[in-house]
Structure 1
Amino acid sequence: MTYAVTSLFVPPPGPEARPLVDAADAAQYIADASLTDAPLGQVGLEIEAHCFDRSDLSRRPSWSQITAVLETLPELPGGSAVTLEPGGAVELSGPPFVGVLPAINAMAADRAILNAAFYDAGLGLALLGADPLRPPHRVNPGPRYEAMEQFFTASGTGDAGAAMMTSTASIQLNLDAGPRDGWAERVRLAHALGPTMIAVAANSPLRSGELTGWASSRQQVWGQLDSARCGPILGTSADDPAAEWARYALNAPVMLVRSATDDAAVPVLDWVPFTKWAGGAVLLEGRRPTTADLDYHLTTLFPPVRPRSWLEIRYLDSVPEALWPAVAFTLATLLDDRGAAEQAAQTVEPVATAWDTAARVGLADPQLHAAAVRCVGIAAELAPAELAGPMQLLVDMTERGRTAGDDFADAAVAVGIEAALTDLWQEH
């Protein structure tokens, strides 16, 4: 089958690219496209998994070895697209479904086929937030990723940038923005839930062969990158998320510009906020920006909640097969069910900005633990019978203050990292 980056929710087609007049014009362009006024209900899931050679876990499979497996895949029944991350992680991107349960069922069906195909090829797919064994290394030859490496090096975050691109993996939820009059409340809640859900889903206690001391080493890595590009868009008080996103995007430094000669990605090695380019204070590639340049800039911004006409929620570690359906159901329910959302907003208010604490200690923090128990319990009360097993597992673990990462760390200490990894795909 073919594999390419595809959009889960499809924004309405915009006008053809045009020159930007100034920074205010750029801000209006961003705000107009940031969120779409629509009913709630659609859910899209994306899940990344690290790819290992089962005969030598310390070696990254080559680009050709991984793509050869992809070429053998049948059309996936759930409609997922398959993409490859810079370090060889394999991502399934599911289409939107009406309701979280259909999205979960479709993703589970596609993951079963993907897991079997890689296993038959002598490879294993591990659902962990960070690669616990291998150092960062890029195998994807895409020129965009090479340019990103150059940008991160020039900005003094080369190590963190390499780790982010090649050693982290996540679960991503894509949800409708909802009716316009509820945008502010909804975007605030999506952010406020972040620390609690990071603690619940923490599953990256090791990276590059070592215990890091962080519950979510994936989130630790993201925190080492510049906050202008990777930090939260807003806290808990913003009333106009479209305007906040425009402010954030314009203040973020330009990472890449398309070459005027061959459309290649050219890294911007100086710190140039997009607002300076839009306002004419700086020329990049000898020119002023267009709306196409601004669209490209937006693809290089990685906040934990990213408006893309829908809400792209990016803060969850990748978690094991037995748990990800419950984690996905919990977050979608706390945002899309009105009663659950109201209860969740009150519950997480004391920890709404505790991003660093959640990543560092997770459920060991008493306030985060209390919020997590309550939030998971709210979702569990609304779970369908089909998810009774995963939800009960998540409830039990959360009440005990345990995460998938705790279990993996214990196994790694007891039997070694390689044996603990092997157990992950034996589950399939």
Structure 2
Amino acid sequence: MSNPGEADLTPITAVRDLAGWFAAGSKPRDAWRVGTEHEKIGFRRRDLSPPPYEGPDGIGAILEGLAARGWERIEDSGNLIGLKRGLASVSLEPGGQFELSGAPVATIGETEAELASHLSELHAVAEPLGVSFTALGFHPIATREAMPWMPKSRYAIMRDYMPRVGDMGLDMMLRTSTVQANLDFGEEADMVEKLRISLALQPLATALFANSPFREGQVSGYRTLRGHVWSRTDPDRTGIPEVVFEDGFGFERFSEFVLDVPMYFVMREGRFVDATNATFRQFMADGLPGRPDIRATMGDWADHVTTVFTDVRLKRFLEMRGADVGSPAMIAALPALWVGLLYDDAAQKAARALTKDWTVAQIRATRAEVPTIALDATVAGLPLREVARDVLAIARGGLKARGGGEERFLEPLERIVASGETAADHWLRRNAEAWGGDVSQVFGEAEL
């Protein structure tokens, strides 16, 4: 999520202003880049407990250590809660999950190098404090109550709101961890096609990257517990929106959809104001409930868009949001998959031909199956594992056409499809064969 308040105070006059905000993200092909974001779960080596914000071995101390190495500080009410360096940033999720939002880059090799540099720097700061990080999509042993809360003002509003709209929203906030790829689009028609392809294939990505089989020290019954948690978080703002597949869809239709998503907050005079009793449409028409003097601005819109959690989110770029975090190789594989599918014309056409006849109901049905059975699910009557082979072949062709040897980044995914064993299956096998049911051993083996 962005940092509210760094915002445009331009008043909103009509829905076309909102559509224009999205349209401003359109870029010529030679300006297309890819950005990769990933979260990771911290743990204290001495007892595997989640580090709090406070204290000499806390998340705050790690941020201070990074700040001393040349990162610009981002503070909230006097607390250091994020960092910036160039176009990259470090931020905190509610439970202390440590996130790198990488800079937009031209190649997957640059993503790989950026990740390696970040992990090296992070280890240099965290290891002397006895803290490390593991790459799993859901915290494998901690209860919800054992998780700390980071001191970010917006989280207090979300913490109160989440239980009203779903029974696992707080788990999403505190115990999940993801990797995300951000891609550019050209004109509106290109955005529409890319959004439709990526939404149709997002359940496949969720299956390929399934990496969260444990909960509170036990086998959870899910390959991606994180994927299941998102299905029970907040139906107003999550999932696969039908509007994307309707005739006439474009920037304005997406704006209409987002207008009816309930708000979390607005920022005024450096403070967050609770806005959970209104949709953005109501805010535009009447101001905030009880505060008609607070009127909607374009900066408020930009902040509100970041609170829409669809499986693929349209901002001024497209965010692929379906994957559990994994190893460094899997982190790099995610942008490689989507660049291969969407940044080459022939690959994009092949991906659209593969998915264009799938209905929203069929895609949603696959999304519902995937958390439990991953690649054993089906889509439109087809075995998902067979679809995965076709999709990876298309992506490989798209990367090969770019001429930079980026096809190598797909190899971890190709091994998963060939074997049928996701990262989650690997951990389940290790738990059964080597750990004797001691799930905590995953921390060492999945350590970043």
Asked if TM exceeds 0.5, the reply is yes
1:369 aligns with 2:388: no
Which position in structure 1 is the counterpart of 2:252?
A: 243
Distance 2:49 2:188 in 1: 49
In structure 1, what is the equivalent of residue 279 of structure 2? 273
CA gap of 1:258–1:335, structure 2 versus 1, over 3 A, is same
Say if 2:36 is the partner of 1:45: yes
- 1: CA distance, partners of 2:405 / 2:120: 17
Q: Which TM-score applies when normalising by structure 1?
A: 0.86
User: Residues 63 and 88 of structure 1 are in contact (CA less than 8 Å); yes or no, is this contact kept in structure 2?
Assistant: no
Within-5 A mapping of 1:24-423 = 25=14, 27-35=15-23, 36-40=25-29, 41-64=32-55, 65-73=58-66, 74-75=69-70, 80-136=88-144, 137-153=147-163, 155-157=164-166, 159-233=167-241, 234-258=243-267, 263-268=270-275, 270=277, 272-280=278-286, 283-287=289-293, 289-291=295-297, 292-349=299-356, 350=358, 352-353=363-364, 354-366=366-378, 367-381=383-397, 382=399, 390-414=409-433, 415=435, 416-423=438-445
- Cα distance change, pair 235–213 in 1 and its aligned pair in 2 (3 A): farther
Q: Secondary structure at the match of 1:193?
A: helix
Residue 317 (structure 1) shift: 1.1
Q: 1:138 to 1:239 in 2, by over 3 A?
A: farther
| C-alpha displacement of 1:361 | 1.8
SS in 2 for 1:285: coil
CA gap 1:386/1:63 in 2 versus in 1, 3 angstroms: farther
Q: Percent identity?
A: 25
Q: CA shift at 1:333, angstroms?
A: 1.3
Relative to structure 1, is the Cα distance of residues 255 and 393 closer, same or farther in structure 2, using a 3 angstrom cutoff?
A: closer
Cα offsets for 1:325-364 (capped at 9, x unmatched): 2232112211112222222223345464432222332101
- Residue-pair matches, total: 408
Q: Give the partner amino acid of 1:71.
A: E
How far apart are residue 311 of structure 1 and its match? 1.3
Distance 1:108 1:337, change over 3 A: farther
CA–CA distance in structure 1, aligned partners of residues 183 and 103 of structure 2: 11
TM-score of the superposed pair, with normalisation by structure 2: 0.82
Please give the per-residue CA displacement for 1:143-170, whole angstroms capped at 9, x wherever unaligned: 21011111123x243x422111111111
Q: Answer yes or no: is the 8 Å Cα contact 2:340–2:347 preserved in 1.
A: yes
Cα deviation, residue 32, structure 1: 0.9
**Worse overlay, 51-60 or 407-416:** 407-416
Residues 63, 139 of structure 1: 8 Å contact kept: no
Q: Does the C-alpha gap of structure 1 residues 275 and 62 become closer, same or farther in structure 2, counting only changes over 3 Å?
A: closer
Specify every segment of 5 or more residues in structure 1 that has no aligned partner in the other structure, as ranges: 8-12
Against the structure 1 CA distance between its residues 63 and 346, is the aligned structure 2 distance closer, same or farther, given a 3 Å change threshold? farther
Query: Take 1:37 and 1:257, find their aligned partners in 2: how far apart are those partners?
Result: 26
Counterparts of 1:59 and 1:109 in 2: how far apart (Å)?
Answer: 24
Q: Please list the CA deviations of residues 364-384 of structure 1 after superposition, one character each: whole Å capped at 9, or x if unmatched.
A: 125211111221233335357
- RMSD (Å) for aligned C-alpha atoms: 2.9
5+ long unaligned stretches in structure 2: 72-84
Deviations 1:398-426 (A, max 9, x none): 1222111111222234412111211122x
| Distance change in 2, residues 1:385/1:277 (3 Å) | closer
- 3-state SS, counterpart of residue 71 of structure 1: helix
Distance change >3 Å, CA 47–CA 15, structure 1 → 2: closer
Bigger CA drift: 292-301 or 122-131? 292-301
CA distance in 2, matches of 1:217, 1:284: 39
> How does 1:9-24 map onto structure 2 within 5 Å?
16-18=9-11, 20-21=12-13
Tell me by how many angstroms 1:48 deviates. Answer: 0.6
Give the conservation status (yes or no) of the 8 Å contact 1:69–1:117: yes
CA distance in 2, matches of 1:418, 1:214: 17
Moved more, 361-370 or 407-416: 407-416
